[in-house]
Amino acid sequence: MAITAAMVKELRQITSAGMMDCKKALTETDGDMEKAIDLLREKGLAKAAKKADRVAAEGLVDIVTSEDRSKCSIVEVNSETDFVAKNDEFKTFVKDVAKVALNNDVKTVEELLATDFNSDIKVQDELNNKIAKIGENMNIRRFETLSNEGCKYVEYIHGAGKIGVIVELETTSVTDAIVTLGKDVAMQVAAMNPKYVSRDDVDEEFINHEREILKQQALNEGKPEAIVEKMVVGRVNKLLKEVCLLDQPFVKNGDLTVSQLVAEVAKNEGTSIAVKSVVRFEVGEGIEKKEENFADEVAKQLGN
């Protein structure tokens, strides 16, 4: 398979490895990006196995929570430019869509679009009105509503709507301290973007995949096979502390893990608290947007 400059560029963005190392890895893996990432990691040439940062789509994330915190909805609405995302009318629309999601039993975006926005029109109609008025394409990309018995929900919005997080707490109490705990955990999720809540959630395939890479890393470093297995166990444990929310050091106090923080608040409040799940939406994540000249973008906004 022919290795293109674009493939090399993408692999460099993902791994931060050198250009020639990226080209060599792609050549050895016949252009398979995932295998090339693994190969660079095995050789210790990749700083991290992250996906390329292709987040360029604009828009907002907003969250609406019921008064008793028994139900919560998060929604992402995309726009073409950041100019629109900062528009007050657009912000109000996103908030209103989140309210519609909260107040109706809808499971898909299609169902949401077909739901009454108000007594006169559907959500789809109001979306079309906004597109016509503001003059820019928009779409309701995704939403999620959580409402499980015995659980309370705490929300957090970061970066003026660029990241939104819901934390689901299994608890019967809604004290100020518990809400603060929820906000702190949500901020942790926004900042650290953990892959799992706890070690119990980690799938065996992920562990086996990482174990093989870490084993090959150790062998490539010239470590004796006799101690490689012990090294791999230690490195896997270190990895789990990075990808599991409850094992992470609390960002506001590195002397505590998130699980220790939860236990501390539960003890002080005299109730049980467990982090059951989290939802994290980041505007445009996974969407690739074509690069545009900034001057051209401004001209487009001005209708030139």
Q: Same structural domain for residues 98 and 31?
A: no
> CATH number of the domain that 281 lies in?
3.30.479.20
Q: What is the pLDDT of residue 166?
A: 98
Pair 287, 170 in one domain: yes
Count of domains for the chain: 2
Provide mean pLDDT across the span 73-88.
91
Domain span at residue 285 reads 58-196+265-299
**Average pLDDT of the segment spanning 179-203:** 95
The string over 184-206, giving b where at least 16 C-beta atoms fall within 10 Å of a residue's C-beta and e elsewhere, is bbbbbbbebebebbbeeebeeee
pLDDT, tens digit, 9 for 90 and up, residues 29-65: 999 998 988 888 887 776 544 433 333 379 999 999 9
Do 152 and 92 share a structural domain? yes
Q: Per-residue pLDDT tens for 267-303?
A: 999 999 999 999 999 998 877 655 545 455 545 545 5
